[in-house]
Amino acid sequence: MNTFLILLTLSISILLHLAQCHIIDEHTNIDLVELELDQTVLKQKQSRFRVYWHDIQSGNHPSSMPIVKPVTKMGFGQVNMMDNPLTLGPKLSSKAVGKAQGFYGMASQEEVGLLMAMNFFFITGKYNGSSITILGRNAVFDHMREMPVIGGSGLFRWARGYVQARTHDLDLKSGDATVEYTIYVMHY
């Protein structure tokens, strides 16, 4: 009788163990499926571009406008959404090469220090449809500001790099600004 009970307990525990294994197997089945990669060796390129970024806050067709109100007198907390023209030369009327789409927020309580998150979306030549993503800190009144390029799409896949921003024109009354952006980017 005792032997029978021991055997019964043993077989039950073995069955339970098998059931558990089955559950685990089910889980591994829904794991990520690794896709085959094109193993062509790609050559990394380094490119440098210069564009002018226009933050137009005045007039009937602003390209940049506040979407969140500031919480302090100094402006801390304000957020602007932008669809800013990018041009080849400093004049707004010069050749349009793309748009800077995204937002910037007043992230410093001591100075005008922005957090910028934007995509430079290009519309010209072979770069048409490609974009780079910039995320960084912009102390607007510094002569030169540097922000990281954290990624890209299209011809800028795998992009890494940085931009240097220099104010070309700033109208303190209207807030309108033209900023020269030099983009240094590694991509494939």
Ligand X SMILES: *[C@@H]1O[C@H](CO)[C@@H](O)[C@H](O)[C@H]1NC(C)=O
Phi, psi of 116 (to 5 degrees): -115, 135
Q: Which residue is nearest to ligand X (CB)?
A: 128
Smallest distance from ligand X to CB 131, Å: 12
Smallest distance from ligand X to CB 187, Å: 19
Smallest distance from ligand X to CB 40, Å: 25
- Which residue, 95 or 166, has its beta carbon nearer to ligand X? 95
State how far the Cα of 186 lies from the Cα of 188, in Å rounded to an integer: 7
Residue type, 69: K
Is 89 an interacting residue with respect to ligand X (CB under 6 A)? no
Q: 153: closest CA among 116, 188, 182?
A: 188
What is the x/- site pattern for ligand X, positions 111-140, by CB under 6 A? ------------xx---xx-----------
- Which residue, 94 or 128, has its beta carbon nearer to ligand X? 128
Dihedral sign for Cα 3, 9, 12, 14, please. Answer: negative
Give the residues across from 18 on adjacent strands. Answer: none
- Which residue, 72 or 128, has its beta carbon nearer to ligand X? 128
- Which residue, 53 or 122, has its beta carbon nearer to ligand X? 122
- Which residue, 109 or 128, has its beta carbon nearer to ligand X? 128
Smallest distance from ligand X to CB 120, Å: 15
Smallest distance from ligand X to CB 150, Å: 24
- Which residue, 96 or 135, has its beta carbon nearer to ligand X? 96
Binding site for ligand X (CB under 6 A): 123-124, 128-129
